[in-house]
Amino acid sequence: MAGLEGVEEPRQQGQATAARWVPSDEDERTHPALEEFGSPADAEVRLPSRPESAGTARRLTQCVVQRQWGLSPQVSEFAVLLVSELVGNAVRHTGARVFGLRILRRRGWIRIEVRDPSRGLPCLMPVDVLDVSGRGLFLVDKLSDRWGVDLLPRGKTTWFEMRVVDRDR
């Protein structure tokens, strides 16, 4: 069932049984990434500026947002998509050797940051239906509640924030 990889369906044995989480192939790639880079919820993780790092950033984000914090699958899906877009921009447009990923949470909000050494500002461009690229910031603008760029003495942090429903933590 799409989107439910890693969830075992409950057995029907006359009484209700909760779904039990079992590792999927994606989870088997997440664990080594957490061991190698650490959790972006604990401290900024530095990832190599290569296209395959987008996959690592997606796995780390999903692990924090959905598994660690228990937020909804939709929040996780949007966060994973948007972090992929920010990482893609950092890899494609900055010439950096590494970039930083940080995921923060405060009551009612999550914030995801991608830091790189370039001071070049991202630009939100108009998007046409037939465009095959250039949609990254458009998606960030449409799916996040707010986003922006903080200039640093040596580089910038591009970030987005999403409202979340806090459950008992």
Reported as a single tens digit per residue, the pLDDT across 113-147 is: 999 999 999 888 777 766 666 678 989 999 999 99
Cα angle 141, 77, 120 (rounded to 5 degrees) comes to: 40
> What confidence tens digit (pLDDT) does each residue in 3-16 have?
434 434 333 444 43
What is the Cα–Cα distance from 29 to 78, expressed in whole angstroms? 20
pLDDT at 79 over 90: yes
Considering only residues 92 and 112, tell me which one the structure prediction assigns the higher pLDDT. Answer: 112
Query: Around Cβ 34, how many Cβ atoms within 10 Å?
Result: 16
Question: What band does 69 get if pLDDT is binned at 50, 70 and 90?
Answer: very high
Instruction: Please tell me the pTM assigned to this model.
Output: 0.78
CB 68 within 8 A of CB 115: no
What is the Cα–Cα distance from 114 to 46, expressed in whole angstroms? 10
Amino acid at 122: P
Record the tokens describing residue 105, joined without a space: 């949470």
Instruction: Tell me the Ramachandran region of residue 81: left when phi exceeds 0, alpha when psi lies from -120 to 50, beta otherwise.
Output: alpha
What is the Cα–Cα distance from 110 to 167, expressed in whole angstroms? 13
pLDDT at 71 over 90: yes
Beta carbons within 8 Å of 46's beta carbon, 6+ residues apart: 37, 98, 99, 100
**End-to-end alpha-carbon separation of the chain, Å?**
28
What is the Cα–Cα distance from 162 to 109, expressed in whole angstroms? 6
Per-residue model confidence (pLDDT) at position 1 = 37
Instruction: Give the percent of the chain with pLDDT over 70.
Output: 77
pLDDT at 89 over 80: yes
CB 62 within 8 A of CB 30: yes
Give 34-163's CATH code, choosing from 1.10.760.10, 3.40.50.880, 2.130.10.10, 3.30.565.10: 3.30.565.10
Per-residue model confidence (pLDDT) at position 32 = 77
The residue ranges of every structural domain in the chain are 34-163
